[in-house]
């Protein structure tokens, strides 16, 4: 009988997430190993680039067993196809954000940072 693989704990996972600012309703995409800690870092103002957009609400995440899979998913979300996927997947959350008017198309502003790309803002 083959041995069962060890069970993964929550810290053995890598999360790709989407946060929404409660101030300006703009979205931020990233990845982390500890999702609760990362959301707290945003809301506590420890992330300098988004400090003025606090508080944030986690509106979507995906879990991956492999770090590169999470990074690739993050990069995908920052493409036109990825933004379209998120618009379709998060239709209800985005409509609530827009006051029930329906989600309008947005333009993404991408900023280069160490180790990859970061969505700076999604603008209407």
State the pTM of this model: 0.71
Half-sphere exposure of 91 (CA within 13 A, CB side): 4
pLDDT value, residue 82:
95
32: CATH: 3.40.1440
Give the residue carrying structure tokens 């929550």.
10
Q: Which of 86, 77, 80 lies closest to 59 in space, CA to CA? A: 86
Is 3 domain-assigned? no
Confidence of residue 75 (pLDDT cuts 50, 70, 90): very high
Domain extent for 22: 10-123
If one counts the domains in the chain, the total is 1
Nearest-angstrom CA–CA distance, 64 and 53: 27
Q: Which of 54, 58, 60 lies closest to 24 in space, CA to CA? A: 54
Is 73 domain-assigned? yes
pLDDT digits (tens, 9 = 90+) for 24-68: 888 899 999 999 999 999 999 999 999 999 999 999 999 999 999
Nearest-angstrom CA–CA distance, 83 and 7: 33
């Amino acid at each position: 009988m083959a041995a069962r693989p060890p069970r993964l704990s929550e810290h053995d996972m890598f999360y790709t997430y989407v946060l929404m600012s409660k101030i300006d309703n703009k979205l931020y995409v990233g990845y982390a190993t500890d999702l609760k800690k990362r959301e707290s870092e945003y809301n506590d103002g420890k992330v300098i680039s988004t400090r003025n957009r606090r508080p944030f609400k986690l509106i979507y995440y995906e879990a991956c067993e492999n770090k590169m899979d999470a990074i690739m998913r993050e990069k995908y979300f920052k493409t036109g196809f990825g933004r379209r996927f998120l618009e379709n997947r998060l239709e209800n959350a985005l409509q609530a954000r827009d006051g029930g008017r329906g989600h309008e198309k947005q333009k993404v502003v991408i900023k280069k940072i160490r180790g990859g790309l970061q969505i700076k803002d999604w603008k209407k």
